[in-house]
Structure 1
Amino acid sequence: MQAQMLEGGFAEAPRDAAIAFRAAMRAMAMPGTIETLIGAAGPAPLSPAASVLLLTLCDPDTPIHLAGAHDAQEVREWITFHTGAPFVAADQAMFALGSWEALAPYQGYAIGSAEYPDRAATLIVEMPALAAQGACLSGPGIEAEAHLTVPDIAFSQANARLYPLGLDMFLTHGNRVAALPRSTQVR
Structure 2
Amino acid sequence: MAITTEALTGGFADPVFHAQSVFKTLMDGMARPGTIQTAEPDIDPPAPLGIAAGTIALTLCDHDTPVWLTQGLTRSAVPEWLGFHAGAPLTAEKADARFAFIEAGTALCSFGLFASGTQEYPDRSTTLVIELPALEGGHRLALMGPGIESVTEIAPVGLPETFPRLWAENRALFPRGIDIVLTSGKRFLCLPRTTKITATEI
Q: Report SS of the residue matched to 1:117.
A: coil
What is residue 12 of structure 2 aligned with on the other side?
10
Q: Of 180, 183, 186, which residue of structure 2 is paired with 1:169?
A: 180
Query: What are the residue-to-residue correspondences of 1:35-114 with 2, within 5 Å?
Result: 35-39=37-41, 40-88=43-91, 89-99=93-103, 101-114=106-119
**TM-score normalised by L of structure 2:** 0.87
Inter-partner Cα distance in structure 1 for 2:95 and 2:133: 25
Question: Runs of at least 4 residues of structure 1 off by over 4 A?
Answer: none
Q: Give 1:123's aligned residue.
A: 128
1:97-148 alpha-carbon deviations (Å, 9 max, x no partner): 1147445242211111111111111001111211287100000111111112
Contact conserved, 1:64 with 1:96, CA < 8 A, in 2?
A: yes
Tell me which of 127, 149, 154 is aligned to 1:143. 149
Kept after mapping to 2: 8 A contact 1:32/1:132 = no
**Could you tell me how far 1:7 is from its partner in structure 2?**
1.2
Q: Amino acid of the residue matched to residue 175 of structure 1?
A: K
Q: Is the Cα contact below 8 Å between 1:67 and 1:103 reproduced in 2?
A: no
Tell me, yes or no, if the aligned pair for 1:96 and 1:103 is still in contact at 8 Å. Answer: no
Q: Work out whether residues 52 and 184 of structure 2, in 8 Å CA contact, stay in contact via their aligned partners in 1.
A: yes
How far 1:72 sits from its partner (Å)? 2.1
Give the letter for the 1:37 counterpart: A
By how many angstroms is 1:21 displaced? Answer: 0.6
Structure 2: 5+ residue runs without aligned partners?
none
Corresponding residue SS for 2:123: helix
Matching residue's letter, 1:140: P
- Distance (whole Å) between structure 1 residues aligned to residue 71 and residue 108 of structure 2: 7
With over 3 angstroms needed to count, the CA separation of the structure-2 counterparts of 1:102 and 1:86, relative to structure 1, is farther
Post-superposition offset of 1:12: 1.1
CA distance in 2, matches of 1:44, 1:66: 13
Unaligned 5+ runs, structure 1: none
Aligned equivalents of 2:154 and 2:172: distance in 1?
19
Q: Distance between the aligned counterparts of 1:103 and 1:144, measured in 2? A: 29
Amino acid at match of 1:124: V
Higher helix share: 1
1:179 paired with 2:190, answer yes
Residue correspondences, number? 187
Aligned-residue sequence identity (percent) comes to: 40
1:13-47 CA distance string (max 9 Å, x none): 11111111111111111101110003222100000
Q: Is the CA contact 1:34–1:176 (under 8 Å) kept in the aligned structure 2?
A: yes
Aligned to 1:20: 22
The answer to whether the 8 Å contact 2:102/2:130 transfers is yes
Conserved? CA contact 1:34–1:132, under 8 Å: no
Q: Deviations over 1:141-167 (max 9, x none)?
A: 111111123531211222122211111
